Amino acid sequence: MQSLSPNILALLPEYILTIVGVLIMLAEPLLPPASSRKPLGWLAILGTVAAALASWCQLHLGTLTAFSGTVQVDTFSVFFHLLISAIVLVTLLISLDYFEGSARHAGEYFALIVFSAVGMMLMTCATELLLVFVGLEISSIATYILCGFRKGSATGAESSIKYFLLGSFATAFFLYGIALAFGATGSTSIAAIAAGLATTTTPRLAFLALAMILIGLGFKVSSAPFHVWTPDVYQGAPSPVVGYMSTAPKAAAFAVLLRITFSAFGPMEHRWAVLMWILAALSMTIGNLGAMLQRDVKRLLAYSSIAHAGYILVAFTALRSEGIAAVCFYTATYAAMQVGAFAVVTQVTGYDEQIRSIDDYTGLALKRPVLAAFLGLFLISLIGIPFTGGFFGKFYVFSSAVHSNHVWLAVVGLFNSGIACFYYLRLLAALYTRPATENTRLDRSSRSLGVPAGIGLTLAAAATLVLGIFPGHFLNLAQRAGAAPAPTSAASTPATVPPAAVTLPMQ
Amino acid sequence: MQLALFIIFGALAVAGALNLLLQRHPINSALSLVVVMMSLAVLYWSLGAEFLAAAQVIVYSGAIMVLFVFVIMLLNAGKEEKTTGSRAAYIAGFPGAAAIFCLLTFVFLSEQKALGVANLGGHLNSGLNNIEELSRVLFTKLLLPFEVTSVLILVAILGAVVLARKEDQ
């Protein structure tokens, strides 16, 4: 029998978050119906910080395996744990005021966010595809529900249903991929698949398995041609939820994709790199061209998130360790700027979201200069202008593609970055233009910026800037993460970097 | 005997699945799904997976189908209406399904030698016990995924609560 302690140690962040989620569920009915749900939100925030600290401590323990090798905690998984907790933390801070007054059932909202984080964390540390599947479902079902949280609005219901149906369809592909991988290699564990591929007599079946898994995860990260749900779902879902669901589940899905492609199906790299090439080029082009046609700000950001998924996929064509580091870094910078942008959208539009199009945003800087400045910073980072995180993210991604001789893909990417400038700058210019007619919609929404939301925005902005000005420390952690996801549990990554040298700006 | 069973229930499964797609009334589609589920259960059983066959009957044909029928009755869903969207789904859906079918057939046929052939009914006499094997795996190697499913169910319950509540403005 195994001793109990590694099993507890390795999954400590997940345990903490699960307990916090259950506590919120239990406390919700005990509070009087008319009272504020903020204490539950603070409990969720406390739990997220505790989970992040627990993951931080795991960084110093080297590689831990638990539950018969279904879980492997290494630098790679800790990186994504910290990233996910940071996203959850900022989202919770933004949501505290969002639900005040309008929806009294915010307790379930906090519990769902916390539980979905458990699912994502399990995905990132799982080395067993069945556990990945269960984690994926936990996070997906929670996000389906969160999308339709504003029950009054028809677009909310549409968003939830659409996401649920297409998401379930995608999960079916993922599950079929797992079944085929089992058929081809005789196992669903990542290490055993990697070993089995060397001796498999059915390489075509194995490749089909990988293709199915790619389709399933492609839906989750909204890469073209599996992106059709993205604009409608993002438009209907509540803004803080969109900020959350366009970053955290994608980060977890990319972590799984990294483990599956580079670790499990590593020997087949020459084959799947072609698929990744096509997916990346399609996502970048369709995302950016689609965004140019949009007048609705949330739809614009939805298409831009498709394009950013494409940029991240570019790094999958690169050499192993460099590619993984680039994906980790870009995922983190993308999370910082995307969550930040949607935090501003949340503050501007409020709960009922009457302010939608670029015309409604015209003149925001005159009415609410601080929010406009924040949004401006995030847009500049999304463009990829130097001294913001977005610049270094794109830089590492494209240089990693060039190093592995995918020059044309990098050219396509750079060309797309140029197109992207156009629509981001159009929105940015609108913020600082005086509107032709007096814009009364903005007046109606002029709530003052609450303290928790202010902290959340500042954290996202600080992360965007720190990743752009001092990328070195963070890249160091990303590179250590890149070296980590070795398929065998024997490969340990000694903590050679002194802990003080690794700052985590996302925190 | 086994081969005859396979042909009969394989044909039933395919016919049921096609009927499910072509029927215009949801209750007819739901009942065709029962046929598919039951035929699949027989196929599982003839391949030696008797536990899976039983679970298929109890879970899918029993629990899930009853839920389907209840939902259809509660919604009082009538005959499906033809819209441009449903026509587009037909135009895109059938070639898509055919393409996936061809792809899978091609891969399985091209790997035929390596994959070998199934011995219909052969496993039933081999003395290997499905339930014993499954429970051993579930409670040793796959203990964590098995236990984490409880969180999944918890999230689903929470979701049902959220969807059922009333929003007070």
Task: Count other Cβ atoms within 10 Å, centred on residue A317.
Answer: 24
Distance CA A367, CA A431 (A): 10
Which residue do the tokens 């959220």 mark?
B162
CA-CA-CA-CA dihedral for A425, A430, A432, A434, to nearest 10? 150
Count of structural domains within chain B: 2
Grouping H, G, I as helix, E, B as strand and the rest as coil, residue A26 is: helix
Question: What's A28's DSSP letter?
Answer: G
Q: Which of B107, B144, B167 sits opposite A204 (nearest CB)?
A: B107
Distance CA A271, CA A102 (A): 52
Both B116 and B50 in one domain: the answer is: yes
Distance CA B160, CA A504 (A): 37
Grouping H, G, I as helix, E, B as strand and the rest as coil, residue A296 is: strand
Distance CA A177, CA A220 (A): 15
Q: Considering only alpha carbons, which residue of chain B is nearest residue A160?
A: B163
Range of the domain at B159: 129-169
Q: Which of B111, B155, B168 sits opposite A142 (nearest CB)?
A: B155
Burial degree of B17 (CB within 10 A; 0-12, 13-18, 19+):
middle
Both B73 and B41 in one domain: the answer is: yes
> By C-alpha distance, which of A319, A326, A338, A353 is closest to A235?
A353
Both B136 and B92 in one domain: the answer is: no
pLDDT for position A79: 92
Both B71 and B138 in one domain: the answer is: no
Both B23 and B37 in one domain: the answer is: yes
Q: Which of A103, A133, A205 sits opposite B111 (nearest CB)?
A: A205
Is residue B105 less than 8 Å (CB to CB) from chain A? no
Both B97 and B166 in one domain: the answer is: no
Distance CA A307, CA B131 (A): 48
> By C-alpha distance, which of A154, A153, A158, A149 is closest to A106?
A149
> By C-alpha distance, which of A322, A212, A214 is closest to A277?
A214
Torsions phi, psi of A385, nearest 5?
A: -90, 140
Residues of chain A contacting B138 with CB distance shorter than 8 Å = none
Apex CA A414: angle with CA A290 and CA A275, to 5°? 75
Both B136 and B88 in one domain: the answer is: no
Residues of chain A contacting B104 with CB distance shorter than 8 Å = 208
Distance CA B151, CA B148 (A): 5
Distance CA B79, CA B71 (A): 15
CB A54 within 8 A of CB A130: no
Both B70 and B108 in one domain: the answer is: yes
pLDDT 10s per residue in chain A (507 long)? 344 578 888 999 999 999 999 999 999 888 887 788 888 999 999 999 999 999 998 888 888 888 888 999 988 999 999 999 999 999 999 998 887 765 567 889 999 999 999 999 999 999 999 999 999 999 999 999 999 888 777 888 889 999 999 999 999 999 999 999 998 998 999 999 999 988 888 889 999 999 999 999 999 999 988 999 999 999 999 999 999 999 999 999 999 999 999 988 988 888 899 999 999 999 999 999 999 999 999 999 999 999 999 999 999 999 888 899 999 999 999 999 999 999 999 988 887 777 888 888 888 888 888 999 999 999 999 999 888 889 999 999 999 999 998 999 999 999 999 999 999 999 999 998 888 776 666 665 556 778 888 999 999 999 999 998 888 888 888 888 777 655 443 333 333 333 333 333 333
ipTM: 0.90
Q: Parse chain A into domains and list their residue ranges.
A: 4-501
Is residue B151 less than 8 Å (CB to CB) from chain A? yes
Both B155 and B122 in one domain: the answer is: no
Q: Do B161 and A138 touch (CB under 8 A)?
A: no
